[in-house]
């Protein structure tokens, strides 16, 4: 948590994410849109892979 993370979702392109909460079934934090950070949440089942930096 609290680290820049690259996420590859099941569908769609990968994106940069800064997680601030990780639960049993979901993750929440800030997603980089290319120009700004927006708050977002994701179901862990929809994430194929991730890498923390």
The model's pLDDT over 1-50, given as tens digits with 9 standing for 90+, comes to 899 999 999 999 999 999 999 999 999 999 999 999 999 999 999 999 99
Q: How many domains does the chain have?
A: 1
The domain in which residue 43 lies consists of: 5-52
pLDDT score, position 22: 97
pLDDT score, position 1: 86
Rounded CA gap, 46 and 22, in Å?
A: 14
pLDDT score, position 19: 98
Q: Residue 4, SS3?
A: coil
The pair of three-digit structure tokens given for residue 14, joined into one six-digit string: 């990968």
pLDDT score, position 30: 99
């Amino acid at each position: 948590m609290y680290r820049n993370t690259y996420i590859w979702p099941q569908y769609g392109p990968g994106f940069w994410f800064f997680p601030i909460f990780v639960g049993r079934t979901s993750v929440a934090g800030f997603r980089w849109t290319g120009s700004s950070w927006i708050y977002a949440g994701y179901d862990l089942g929809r994430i194929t892979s991730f890498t923390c930096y």
